[in-house]
Structure 1
């Protein structure tokens, strides 16, 4: 599990970078990484980019005061090693900043919990536009951080809604014996299966719940209350008791938002899966609920069958073959996108150093020919340092800076961006098709009760089991 927070730096970028690079905190700077800058001269690199910024005024008319942003990613105690924490931090920086922003990343190991510090320039190196720090960008950070933690085997606080979940709500959900957690689970399932708020109330009744104050009328009580079968008291649908996503107003809003998302999709991306009636004991104990689930399964099966025929698929063999083709196409597109992202990251760094080299070369030439070099150096020290650093980095990459063509490099970058966008559209479409076919296969296997190894015969709707 990792917690993230971010804030802007309006001044003293050099002091902030000096702090996060403290050798006592980073194991003598073993856990220090950077991109498109050197930790020692990062403040100068940031200033160079900011001086070329095109967008000095934000969309709401406010001045862009931040010189850099400081992102902290803190891990749960004793859950992650130093090396893994630094690796996760680097992956987060590369995926979040997409090779456009210069950054310095460090991992601090001097506290009870390991944490990463990421300081990145407020403007990017390609278009010289400001990073837009807002709620949407924060949720992107959190989502990326959670996904990377999962990929590296760390725990994650899951939230079913973008609005987030209180820690005590998350903690309660970890306890399988928590009856409030079971109420939340039943409410969430009912929301998924309901088209209207009235459907939700009917379904909760079918699940055996007694409810009070369900009306949305102003004369009704403020909080909807739930009492599961076998319990003595009601539980309020309030932010304090169940969580802010379980008030009656929020429940209605979630159902309406779900329906709106369904209307937005012309394809059947929302093809539902069958309800498991056999393994869940609540269906055997509640005849009404079982009857409702059986009817829902019949609707899903009919929709699945019609969708399958519309795709000219007649048996499992054809379905599996189509799925395998789409899987290969998705994997090929993913590999191509990853390769292009690596090229973009490398090229953006080269472009930045090429710009620094060309713009600061006149100052270096004048310095070499100056009669009083010490005086000239004192006046233009930052320019000369940036020139030397850019020249050194370009040479390390096997580029002769005297013969490079900056506009040609920029064209290469634009062409790669165009390729990536086309591949991303293709990959998204293919992934949606694949997800749909996999759900079709799962529904047909479960509803027709066909073993995965016995999939050569054609689909026969007359062979469906009786309800």
Structure 2
């Protein structure tokens, strides 16, 4: 499984800045490890002089910004190491993947170079990038969770390239990372039988007209077909030694030859025969790369988006489509509930503000209206104080409408109530932004998967696109 290691490099004890950086870069570019220097790629720097170039950028940063860190606290550069499973990639492919990772991690704002080492059984690369940006105005700051962010990006790129990786290596209940054996015990690679069952369901959802069309779809998906004596059928896929016979005793209920024939003839619903394991089904569908659902999806989306969807499913333990639907519904409900709550709070705040203004206007104009009453509603008095009397009547009408027969609260009570509402709104907005992000993420994931698996009709697809 592809693993990552992230480390900021400081000055080594007893060495100068130049010596510390040169020692690290010399180790990375060792000709014996990089096939004489052939397995080295760089961006905006020369690997042979990268130490001097990185130091020069730091001097420019100090001149431009006027900022300088203490010598023992300054980060000279950052290093990322990616290690891959033997046999999945060669040293050159590992180098290309490492370069892709470095470009996406730095967003092209930092100089870096990547080296691929051949001194170990497992392919691995070292990435060194400058802590100072190319324009020498900013520095990369190691942040809380940076190592996890490195791992997630590496995992995403591995998914895009069809490579294995460790999903969820850190259990929630413990602080220590699990080793490969512990992780594999709960995250085993799908068996050949599981892959076969997933591909059978995929081909049946395409509604083949007859058995020959179904078998041709299986061949297109990468499965070898063997007709057995007595009319049986067996399948074998890449990396599998023995054929797996199409029968319920081997694959389970609903996967016998008669069951498949019944599904083709419309006498059985293939998607109801088992719970859909999204991870297996999606990977099988992408690998097959065939069918109208895939072609429609491929016109709109790309492999990076699907890798992001797969990563989301694995990180959230969503192996069943029904669970994905339920979580999407819950996320939408939570978002709309918080949205309605904020709207109610804002309405209460507007009412509170309007009532306070009315109370103030009432208090200011009440003496004038009392004088108007004492003058027995004299027209002359009204003409002299018309604006104040109109303000009094408007304030009184507003209070009667908002209080609605209840006792008018005191001004201090209204102010306290407004402060409480404002605090509730602020808290709700934090939850609202989080809920909105969660909803958008899972709705996007579900939309991508629906398109890929062909689980939406044309009209629904158009609505999702909008």
Task: Identify whether the pair has TM-score above 0.5, normalized to the shorter chain.
Answer: no
TM value normalised by structure 1: 0.39
TM value normalised by structure 2: 0.39
Larger radius of gyration between Structure 1 and Structure 2: 2
